[in-house]
C-alpha cells in the first residue's frame, strides 16, 4: 500500500501576513491588526493509503473552516508551478493595495513570465482577505495578456489543500501554473509541495518581491526546485 507523508506546521498565520509578528521570525510589526496568529496543533498525516480521501480536523481548531482536506492518489501530475509573492505593498499594510512599484512589477511580470516560462495554463491567486487583493492585482496584467482567468477561490492558509490539488488533480497534468501568494505562507506551501528544506527560504524576507520558486514535477511527488530572480 502506497503512503504519503504531509506535515502541517504548528503555527500557520492568517492570509495576508504581509507584516509578520516576531513569532514568524520574519518581521516585528506585531501590532498590525491584519495579522492575527492562526494556530494549528501539529498534524502528521502518515501512511494514508493512496486512492483514499479523508478529512482531518485540526486538533483544537474547533471550526469547520479549520478542516484540512487531503486527497491521495497514485497519479502525480507532471506539472510546472511558479510560486511567487505579490508586488510591493504600502508602508501602511492596512491599505489593501499595491504601491506604484508594485503595479509596475505586475506589468513587467506579465511579459517576463511569458517570455521566460511560456504562457501559463492556470493562474491562481490567494483569495481576497479583509479587502486585501494584492495577489490578484499582481497577476491581473498576466491574466489580461493571456486570457487565462484568475482562480482566487483558495485561502492562503489552505496550503496543504492547494498542494494536493496541484499534484493530483489531473486537470493540471502537463500544465504550467502560476501561483501568487502571501509571503509568510510561501514556505508552508513549498513544504506542502514536498520541496527540500534548502530549496526555498524558510523565513521570507519582508523586502523580497522578486523571487519566483519554480517546481517541476516529472511524475514523482518530489519536485525539482529552482529559485529564479526577476531582473527588475
> Domain locations in the chain?
6-71, 80-229
Q: d(Cα 153, Cα 26) in Å, to the nearest integer? A: 26
Q: What percent of the chain has pLDDT over 90?
A: 61
pTM: predicted TM-score of the whole model, two decimal places: 0.72
**Looking at the predicted structure, is the pLDDT value of residue 146 above 90?**
yes
Query: Rounded mean pLDDT of the chain?
Result: 77
**Looking at the predicted structure, is the pLDDT value of residue 153 above 90?**
yes
Q: What percent of the chain has pLDDT over 70?
A: 69
Q: d(Cα 144, Cα 138) in Å, to the nearest integer? A: 11
> Region 88-101: what's the mean pLDDT?
88
Q: Which CATH number fits domain 80-229: 1.10.10.10, 3.40.50.1240, 3.40.50.10860, 3.40.640.10?
A: 3.40.50.1240
Contact indicator for 163, 200 with CB cutoff of 8 Å: no
User: Contacts for 225-228 with beta carbons within 8 Å, 24 or more apart?
Assistant: 225/190, 225/195, 225/196, 225/199, 225/200, 227/199, 227/200, 228/116
Q: d(Cα 179, Cα 220) in Å, to the nearest integer? A: 20
- Pairwise pLDDT comparison (96 vs 10), residue with the higher score: 96
Least confident stretch, 38-52, 125-139, 166-180: 38-52
Rounded to whole angstroms, the maximal C-alpha distance in the chain is 53
- Pairwise pLDDT comparison (12 vs 205), residue with the higher score: 205
**Looking at the predicted structure, is the pLDDT value of residue 117 above 90?**
yes
State how far Cα 156 lies from the chain centre. 6
Where in 4-121 does DSSP place strands (E)? Answer: 6-8, 11-13, 37-39, 43-45, 53-57, 67-71, 80-85
Residue 55 pLDDT: 35
> Region 188-217: what's the mean pLDDT?
96
Q: Which residue has the cell 507523508?
A: 5
**Looking at the predicted structure, is the pLDDT value of residue 187 above 50?**
yes
Amino acid at each position: 500500500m502506497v503512503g504519503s507523508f504531509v506535515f502541517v506546521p504548528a503555527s500557520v498565520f492568517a492570509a495576508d501576513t504581509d507584516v509578520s509578528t516576531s513569532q514568524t521570525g520574519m518581521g516585528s510589526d506585531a501590532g498590525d491588526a491584519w495579522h492575527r496568529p492562526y494556530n494549528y496543533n501539529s498534524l502528521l498525516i502518515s501512511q494514508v493509503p493512496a486512492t483514499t480521501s479523508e478529512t482531518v480536523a485540526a486538533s483544537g481548531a474547533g471550526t469547520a473552516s479549520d478542516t484540512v482536506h487531503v486527497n491521495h492518489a497514485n497519479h502525480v501530475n507532471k506539472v510546472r508551478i511558479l510560486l511567487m509573492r505579490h508586488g510591493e505593498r504600502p508602508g501602511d499594510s492596512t491599505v489593501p493595495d499595491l504601491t506604484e512599484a508594485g503595479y509596475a512589477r505586475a506589468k513587467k511580470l506579465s511579459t517576463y513570465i511569458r517570455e521566460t516560462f511560456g504562457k501559463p495554463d492556470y493562474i491562481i491567486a490567494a483569495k481576497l482577505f479583509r479587502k486585501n487583493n494584492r495577489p490578484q492585482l499582481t497577476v491581473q496584467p498576466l491574466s489580461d495578456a493571456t486570457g487565462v482567468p484568475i482562480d482566487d477561490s483558495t485561502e492562503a492558509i489552505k496550503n496543504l489543500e492547494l498542494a494536493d490539488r496541484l499534484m493530483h488533480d489531473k486537470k493540471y497534468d502537463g500544465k504550467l501554473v502560476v501561483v501568487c501568494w502571501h509571503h509568510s505562507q510561501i514556505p508552508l506551501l513549498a513544504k506542502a509541495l514536498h520541496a527540500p528544506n534548502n530549496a526555498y527560504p524558510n523565513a521570507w524576507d519582508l523586502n523580497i518581491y522578486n523571487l519566483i520558486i519554480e517546481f517541476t514535477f516529472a511524475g514523482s511527488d518530489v519536485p525539482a526546485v529552482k529559485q529564479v530572480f526577476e531582473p527588475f
